[in-house]
Amino acid sequence: MDLADFREYCLRKPGASEETPFGPDVLVFKVGGKIFALAALDEVPPRVNLKCDPDLALDLRDRYEQVRPGYHMNKKHWNTVEIASGIHDIELQKMIDHSYDLVVKPLLKARVNQRRVLGSRSCR
C-alpha cells in the first residue's frame, strides 16, 4: 500500500475527513472531530500512525518489524506503521479499520445516550 492508497482508504470511511492542523507535511484523518490516523508526507518509507487497542498494539509490534510504538503519540494506544514495507494490504486495511472503529464506537455510544436523555425529557 502506498500513501495515495492509504489516503483513499481512510477517506472512504463513513464520516471521515482530512485536515492538516500540524502543517502541510502531515495528513490527519478524523471522524466526529477525533483523529483515527495520521500520515507523514515527508517520510521515506511512508509511515502512518494508527490508534490501536493496547494488547493488539503489542501483538502487532511483535508480529511485524514495520510496526513500532506511535511516534509523537501515546505509545500505549498508537502504532507507527511503515505502510510500503511488506505488510499485506489486507492487514493494513484491518489496522485502519480497527483504528477507525476505536474512535467511532464511543461517538456512537455517546449519541445513543444523548438520544435517551433527550427522549426521556420529552416524555415528561
DSSP-derived letter for residue 73 is S
Report pLDDT digits (tens) over 6-49: 999 999 999 999 999 999 999 999 999 999 999 999 999 999 99
CATH of domain 3-122: 3.90.1150.30
Report pLDDT digits (tens) over 57-98: 999 999 999 999 998 899 999 999 999 988 999 999 999 999
Contact between 80 and 47 under an 8 Å Cβ cutoff? The reply is yes
pTM for this prediction: 0.86
Return the domain boundaries, the chain.
Answer: 3-122
Which alpha helices (H) appear in the chain, and where do they start and end?
3-11, 54-63, 89-122
